[in-house]
Amino acid sequence: MAKIGVGIIGAGRGGWAALGHIPAIRALPDYELRAISTTRRASADAAAQEFGVPSGFDDHRDLIAHPEVDLVVVSVKVAHHHMLVSEALGAGKAVYSEWPLGVGLDQAADLAQRARAARVRTVIGLQARFAPAVRQVRDLVADGYVGKVLGTTLIGSGLAWVGETDRAHAYIFDRASGTTTLTVPAMHALEALNFALGDFDEVFANLVRGRTEVRITDEGITLPVTAPDQVSVTGTLRGGAAASVYYRGAHSRGDNLRWEINGTEGDLVLTAPGVNGNLQVADLRLEGGRGSDETVAPIEIPDRYFAAVPRGLTGPAHNVAQVYAAFAADLRDGGRTVPGFDHALERHRLLGLIEATSRTRTALKPAA
């Protein structure tokens, strides 16, 4: 198969594409980064030079139209996803959109419909399910390592949602932006939990604004916080297990990420070192114990869970590279292992259900 030509919209220096996508693409032989675009000529030229990309554009339409771009990656603020993804789909290009797919359920539903109509392959950036440790946990549970799953608890920290920020990042404290503690770190964690243990049969949530103001350091002002920064989601999984997920804004002086799975025969524990509380980008440590074990002990992750991605590629780029590697394999053999926009729509429906149950204070059941 010929190399897959990638064009990234939103490839500014120091952004998520630079941290996650570009190192991932460079690590995989199936891909070639052929174009990037930013909103300004100077930044496009600087990024193209820094990353060694032949084409840098200050107009996303030029990138989409580029004949050597097969896959358009949209890595910008969620508020711009609908327009950019729509244009890429309209051009008949495959699209990799960061999560969330859109601002709210209506935008996600529209983009999923456009993708179906265009008959193109799509990828949604929910990479937590591709973390080697998460995939190994899914297999261990399926193989009976913990016996019957009785319950699971996951506690994490959304590290960006602290008491102060700069103007460039103030939007994440605004519920209308689509980029909040709930929509980003909590939903990425729920993606991993549901992938490993199954979907919810019933869910209840409590969304709280612990901080009502955020200080904008470069302007010396405060702004109101409209998005919840304390996210509690509980429920029952379809297999009958109890589930509890809590994400807090900022970081803890204790554990910033701890996920336990408890069963009749054993236990599994996933943690991340240091202050990394975002499960989708963490280098996860897996421990387990069963039978007569009195404590958990490290579990080695076999090479097969790393597939074509080098073990030396760590940090945010690793799980993104796992997505790219799986997508290339799908294109080769016609598989559908990488979730696209229809899966993103289902995640948006769960997101809407979480928000609804918090408003109504009533447990709700997802649609079958």
* Residues 327-365: tens digit of each pLDDT: 999 999 999 999 999 999 999 999 999 999 999 999 989
Predicted confidence (pLDDT) at residue 33 exceeds the cutoff of 90: yes
**For residue 1, pLDDT beyond 70:** no
Give the percent of the chain with pLDDT over 70: 100
Instruction: State which fold the 129-305+348-360 domain adopts.
Output: Dihydrodipicolinate Reductase; domain 2 (3.30.360)
* Domain 4-127+320-339 CATH (choose: 3.40.190.10, 3.10.20.740, 3.40.50.720, 3.40.50.2300): 3.40.50.720
224 burial via Cβ count (<10 Å: 0-12, 13-18, 19+):
exposed
Exposure class string for 233-260: b at 16+ Cβ within 10 A, else e: bbbbbeeebebebbbbbbbeeeebbbbb
Per-residue pLDDT band for 14 (boundaries 50, 70, 90) equals confident
pLDDT at 58: 94
Q: Are 63 and 36 in contact (CB under 8 A)?
A: yes
Q: What is the average per-residue pLDDT within 80-94?
A: 98
Let me know how long the chain is. Answer: 368
Give span(s): CATH 3.40.50.720, the chain: 4-127+320-339
Of 126, 121, 130, 125, nearest in space to 331 by CA: 121
pLDDT, tens only, 232-257:
999 999 999 999 999 999 999 999 99
DSSP state of 184: I
**pLDDT of 275-305, one tens digit each?**
789 999 999 999 999 999 999 999 999 999 9
Query: What is the pLDDT of the chain when averaged over all its residues?
Result: 96
Q: How far is CA 184 from the centre of its chain?
A: 7
Q: What is the CA radius of gyration of the chain?
A: 20
Q: Which residues make up the CATH 3.30.360.10 domain(s) of the chain?
A: 129-305+348-360
